[in-house]
Amino acid sequence: MQFNMFIGRIPFINMKLIIKNNSLKKKESVGNKTRFVEIYETARGVDNISPAIKVTRLIIRYSTRIFGFYVATKFLGGLLALVKLARASNTRKYIEYILTINKLNIEYLLYLSNNNLSAAVLKKNKWAEFILKNSSSAKFRWSARNYLSLLSRHGFYSMSGDACNTVINSSVLNRKSKLKFYIYGPNASSAPDEKYKDYIIVFLKPIDIDVSQYKGSILFINGIYYRSVVSGNSSLRNKLIEKYLKIIVSCKTSTLDEPFQRAKFPMGENIASPMALGRLLYNLVMSHGVFSCVIEGFDFYLDRDMYASYYPSLARDKNNSINEQLICSGLASHDALFNYLYIKDIVGMLDLVDSTEFKKIIGMDGGEYLCELSKVRKFETLRKQ
């Protein structure tokens, strides 16, 4: 049976919907809620918007949104069995692949939504193993190997051979910088301390704080904040340029004009990727080598009251409260354990000064961190698709 004919016989596919959604992105937000979107890979020879593949992607997306995680995993399992009956072809092979990785992803989300974080880790390991063995993309296989290597170093996976020893190229670690950074995060309980005036102060959002007393200042913002708040506001852009010595934007798609600089990107694809602090530390190490730093106001999402009032987060709802579903969705897509262990590895390479509260948290092992996270975050909100 030809695969295009086979997939076209699935009764609830509306071809008008396919055409209308040709340009849909990997993530969607409606109002102040993140909607489930299927994952797929980009590789040479793969057309992710060809009719058969696009239909498959829409089936995954809307069956999950409409019926929820549990039913979607059963449905995709049945669909996988049917797809295997179709005539062998490159298209069928790729569709079988994306059905499998999405089924694994949805099973991972199902465990998270039931607050079973240990089972979610085991499911993510199987997902990474599948990518490592079956992906046609060297980039995605590399990310899966790095993911499993990191978890293996911390006792969450047993990996033999082909393991990466560090999250950053070891040659970079041979460089020592005389610069010192004061990284001031979203949950600091007090104003920046003046005793670190010989440090370069670093923020993840523009905050109304005088930075002139410090040796220098860096603003490191993500792509969503840049596109939503900064790029179209010439007045704000000028104020930021005047205030900060350097402005780095963590985005791959936005067009950036000087003096805005594009961030370097660490490993990470659909399987997992570092969050803001991890990306910031990666950029600082890659640019300067090993350095001394103070890290304040980062709690790895272990505080139920997310983000201090001074912090301009886009996750705030109309009542100025932080939206729990958006927070948990971010932790799910980046992988909370991966993010924690990634930062733990990088910080272990640095000279961490003071940072008493941060040291208490980063001093936990991964299992302790997951236990504390499960007590605070409401992962059941992930079901609200």
How many Cα atoms within 13 Å fall on the side-chain side of residue 83?
A: 23
Residues 103 and 210 in one domain: no
Has residue 164 been placed in a domain? no
Q: Nearest-CA neighbor of 338 among 136, 172, 98, 157?
A: 157
Q: How far apart are CA 233 and CA 135, in angstroms?
A: 41
Has residue 10 been placed in a domain? yes
Task: Give CA separation, 65 vs 62, 171, 265, 281, 319, in Å.
Answer: 5, 45, 31, 35, 26
Residues 106 and 206 in one domain: no
Residues 77 and 179 in one domain: no
Strands (E), the chain: 28-30, 33-35, 176-184, 200-203, 216-222, 246-250, 260-262, 290-296, 351-352
Task: Give CA separation, 355 vs 50, 185, 296, 338, 360, in Å.
Answer: 52, 12, 6, 22, 9
Per the listing, tokens 């797929």 go with 40
Q: Nearest-CA neighbor of 18 among 56, 47, 75, 46?
A: 56
pLDDT of residue 304: 84
Residues 197 and 275 in one domain: yes
Q: Nearest-CA neighbor of 250 among 221, 284, 278?
A: 221
Domain boundary, last residue among 67, 82, 113: 113
Has residue 320 been placed in a domain? yes
Has residue 137 been placed in a domain? no
Residues 188 and 325 in one domain: yes
Along the 385 residues of the chain, how does pLDDT read in single tens digits? 444 444 444 433 343 333 333 333 345 554 467 899 999 988 777 788 889 999 999 999 999 999 999 999 999 999 999 999 988 888 899 999 999 999 999 999 999 999 999 999 999 999 999 999 999 988 899 999 999 999 999 999 998 776 677 788 777 888 999 999 999 998 888 899 999 999 999 999 998 899 999 999 999 999 889 988 998 899 999 999 999 999 999 988 778 888 999 999 887 788 999 999 999 999 999 999 999 999 999 999 999 877 766 667 767 666 667 788 999 999 999 999 999 999 999 999 999 999 999 999 999 999 999 999 999 999 999 997 7
Residues 66 and 213 in one domain: no
Domain boundary, last residue among 113, 136, 156: 113
pLDDT of residue 15: 33
Residues 96 and 179 in one domain: no
Has residue 244 been placed in a domain? yes
How many Cα atoms within 13 Å fall on the side-chain side of residue 84?
A: 9
Has residue 344 been placed in a domain? yes
Q: What's this model's pTM, rounded to 2 decimal places? A: 0.88
pLDDT of residue 30: 43
First to last CA, the chain: 35
Residues 85 and 176 in one domain: no
Q: Nearest-CA neighbor of 218 among 169, 173, 263, 274?
A: 263
Token pair belonging to 297: 């106001």
Domain boundary, last residue among 113, 130, 161: 113
250 pairs with which residues across the strands? 222
DSSP 9-36: T-TT--HHHHHHTTT--S-EEETTEEEP
Has residue 345 been placed in a domain? yes
Q: How far apart are CA 269 and CA 272, in angstroms?
A: 6
Residues 86 and 188 in one domain: no
Token pair belonging to 164: 């990466």
Q: Nearest-CA neighbor of 222 among 201, 251, 246, 247?
A: 251
Residues 217 and 330 in one domain: yes
pLDDT of residue 168: 83
Task: Give CA separation, 327 vs 13, 239, 250, 265, 373, in Å.
Answer: 32, 29, 18, 22, 12
Q: 3-state class of 228 per DSSP? A: helix
Total of domains in the chain: 2
Query: How many C-beta neighbours within 10 Å does residue 341 have?
Result: 23
Residues 205 and 336 in one domain: yes
Token pair belonging to 358: 């941060």
Residues 224 and 360 in one domain: yes
Q: How far apart are CA 114 and CA 249, in angstroms?
A: 35
The answer to whether the beta carbons of residues 360 and 344 sit under 8 Å apart is no
Has residue 136 been placed in a domain? no
Q: How far apart are CA 212 and CA 190, in angstroms?
A: 18
Domain that holds residue 18: 3-113
